Structure 1
Amino acid sequence: MTPALKTSKLALGTVQFGFKYGISNTYGQTSLKEIGEILKLAFDNGIRTIDTARHYGTSEENLGNFKLDDYNIVSKYFDTNDEKTLRQSLDESLKSLKQKSLYGYIAHSTSTLFEHPELWDILNQLKAEGLVQKIGASMYAPQELKMLLDKKMVPDLIQIPFNIIDNRFEPYFPILKSYGTEIHTRSAFLQGIFFMDYNKLNSYFSELVPFLKELNSNFPDSNSKAGFLLNHCVSNNNIDKVVIGVNNAEQLSQNINSLQQEIPSVNFSTDLRISEKILLPSNWPQN
């Protein structure tokens, strides 16, 4: 896979465009000026997908200050329980982003679809009306995907966590591809924890320390480490897009450059079977 093709598989995560996000984020919320610089750099390097959500603070409004017609925008709805609130949420996203339609419109949580299965028919109606191209869900555990498929809600697009220590969804990749489902992944860097000093981590993360030590031993500088972690995701042929969040154009440039280098394969001696208390940031202690 060429470096250009690898870069084109990246998608811009934009939660930090709306508020400070990430355990390793020392920059705070991304400014409008920086958002513009990020979008230009992304476009110049073949990145054409933006991931956002109505509940990402002011992310959609801030993105709407820029020309986005050449991007595929995926947004998420949250806390909707009927046709009125679903359509209202979509309308607010479209107005904020200054778009007539969205590439993807997915549930932030599968619980919304499980509690209100009638929403699936409404989402398909939104597709028929040309307001969205693809529907689906963001999810955290494979059990959610199994339940979705069991209920015959075959997604056009899903977003799931995937990284060097989290391959829980991988057994489902072949069946998803047989359905034509587009697979977007997040958490390539696990909110940046792979780059943090393991000596300063909360004891809650002690299970992860042996892996972090070995990761640092193999990739002592952040550029080669980022390249290794991103390559693990973009080189998976079943994955269509790898969503990464950046706070400024310099970070995006570093990530793009990290994909240009040759990355050696590494066989880790430490056990990579990490529990969900680590894999899911929603489980982490607040401080």
Structure 2
Amino acid sequence: MAGLGRVGPDHARRDAALELLRNGSATHDLSQKVVATGPGHRLFLAVPKAAPPPLGWPVLYMLDGNAAFDFLTAADLARVPGLVIVGVGYDTEKQFSRELRTLDFTAPDGPGDGLRADHVHEGRTAGGAAIFHDRLTGPLRAAAEAGLAIDPARRTLWGHSFGGLFTLYALLARPEGFARYAAISPSIWWDEALIRRIAARAAPASRPLLVALGDREKRSGSDGPPPDGPAPATMDFIAGLARHPGHRTVPHVLAGHVHIQTLAGSFPLVLPFAAAD
């Protein structure tokens, strides 16, 4: 297994084609902007062409925004003509920034800022989730929502893989940041003991949580065929959350989906989830 984390799956190296931004949408105005906070971020925006409702639009924040907007289609947007979608990515041409997402999407564990060497991926730094959460709900949110009529009671956070792990962290450690959460194929395996400790310390909450994962997933870089059925550790963790005060969710199992396929495979679930009253 040594070195597999450095090799990484092929999809992690791909450029983002962003055909949606080139081809446009009948229901949404599309744009992107660079925000120079932190390591530098790109925000991808899909804003409804229709007038906002009296209390403002609901908004879906999607981590790994370069990849999320690479997979989104005009047909996806047409299903939710009244939903603002914000892709929070990095200032790169790639779908993913592997080193930065490892830093930003993994939780701190210990005193101080919690930063430490990644025990899985040699040469990477981990533990920056609290710092990133402040950036996400501070300057990045301000830049994304500038000039838009947004309903602050209808903000949803979506994350896939490490982004799904961050979504669980945000729900459990800082639930006031968003009204709803969608964790897709969360990387429980990265430090299962840590996310369980965070869950054990969490105060009772009533934020809706959507979880989805594939039944053909395996950890990126691992040997052997995909397993039959969804990841047992994730299913067990979600079952544990269901026993925690305020958290009630049933995971959606996406049939025939390997890990990368659950990213777009979650859209039919999460888009109406985020748009709902």
Q: Shorter-normalised TM-score: what interval?
A: 0.3 to 0.5
Larger Rg: 1
Q: TM-score, normalised by structure 2?
A: 0.36
**Larger helix share, 1 or 2:** 1
Q: TM-score, normalised by structure 1?
A: 0.35
**Larger strand share, 1 or 2:** 2
